C-alpha cells in the first residue's frame, strides 16, 4: 500500500483579467473547466483558456469562447488588419517565443481618419443643404436630409470609436 504522496491535480484551465488599474493583470488556474467558465462569465472582461500542450519552456493555451474572449479576438483582428493595411506586420510571437520585430505606426491610419471626417462633413452638409431647397418634392427633401444626417451620425460614431486605435 502506497501511503506516500498523492498525485497533484493537473491544472488545465485558467482565466486572465486586467485589474481596475490596467497596469496589472491577474490569473487564476483551475482543474475544472466549469469553474473556469463560471468565473469568466462572472467577469465579462476576462478570458478563459484551456491548456492544449506544454513543454519545459512554453504552454499552449486555447481560448475558450466567451463574451470577453470574443471581444478580445475582435480587437486583435482589428489591430492586425490596421497594421497590414498600413504596410506593417503584426507583432506577435510564435510558440517558441521568437517573433518578428516590426515597427508599426498608426499615423497613416489617423490621417485617413481625419480625411474621412472632413469628407463626411462635406458630403453630409451637401446632402442636408440640398434637402432644404424648396423647389424639390417634399419626399426628396426629407430623404436628402435624412441621408445626410444618418451619414454624419454613422461616420462620426465610427470616427469616435476608432480615434484611439
Residue 68 sits in which domain range? 13-85
Instruction: Using pLDDT thresholds of 50, 70 and 90, give the confidence band for residue 144.
Output: very high
Across 45-70, average pLDDT: 84
Q: Which three cell numbers stand for residue 84?
A: 497590414
Residue 158 in domain: yes
- Please give the tally of structural domains in the chain: 2
Instruction: Using pLDDT thresholds of 50, 70 and 90, give the confidence band for residue 164.
Output: low
Residue 8 in domain: no
Verify that 31 and 78 share a domain, yes or no. Answer: yes
Q: Which of 85, 115, 136 is the last residue of a domain?
A: 85
Residue 107: CB atoms within 10 A of its CB come to: 8
Locate cell 470574443: which residue? 70
Across 131-149, average pLDDT: 92
Across 24-34, average pLDDT: 89
| Mean confidence (pLDDT) of the chain | 78
CA distances to 3, 35, 65, 106 from 76, rounded to whole Å, are 50, 26, 15, 15
Residue 97 in domain: no
- The per-residue pLDDT for range 71-106, each reduced to its tens digit, is 888 888 888 777 777 666 555 544 444 444 444 455
Q: Which residues contact 89 (CB under 8 A, 6 or more apart)?
A: 83, 100, 102, 104
Instruction: Using pLDDT thresholds of 50, 70 and 90, give the confidence band for residue 133.
Output: very high
CA distances to 61, 71, 93 from 17, rounded to whole Å, are 15, 13, 20
Residue 39 in domain: yes
Confidence (pLDDT) at 142? 93
Verify that 59 and 28 share a domain, yes or no. Answer: yes
Residues 28, 15 contacting (CB under 8 angstroms): yes
Q: Which of 85, 117, 145 is the last residue of a domain?
A: 85
Verify that 113 and 158 share a domain, yes or no. Answer: yes
Amino acid at each position: 500500500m502506497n501511503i506516500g504522496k498523492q498525485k497533484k491535480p493537473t491544472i488545465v484551465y485558467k482565466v486572465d483579467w486586467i485589474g481596475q488599474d490596467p497596469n496589472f493583470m491577474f490569473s487564476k488556474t483551475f482543474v475544472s473547466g466549469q469553474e473556469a467558465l463560471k468565473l469568466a462569465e462572472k467577469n465579462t472582461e476576462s478570458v478563459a483558456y484551456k491548456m492544449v500542450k506544454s513543454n519545459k519552456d512554453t504552454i499552449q493555451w486555447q481560448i475558450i469562447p466567451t463574451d470577453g474572449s470574443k471581444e478580445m479576438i475582435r480587437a486583435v483582428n482589428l489591430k492586425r488588419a490596421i497594421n497590414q493595411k498600413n504596410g506593417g506586420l503584426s507583432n506577435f510571437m510564435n510558440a517558441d517565443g521568437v517573433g518578428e520585430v516590426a515597427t508599426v505606426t498608426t499615423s497613416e491610419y489617423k490621417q485617413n481618419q481625419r480625411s474621412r471626417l472632413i469628407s463626411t462633413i462635406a458630403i453630409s452638409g451637401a446632402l442636408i443643404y440640398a434637402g432644404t431647397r424648396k423647389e424639390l418634392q417634399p419626399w426628396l427633401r426629407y430623404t436628402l436630409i435624412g441621408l445626410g444626417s444618418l451619414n454624419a451620425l454613422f461616420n462620426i460614431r465610427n470616427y469616435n470609436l476608432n480615434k484611439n486605435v
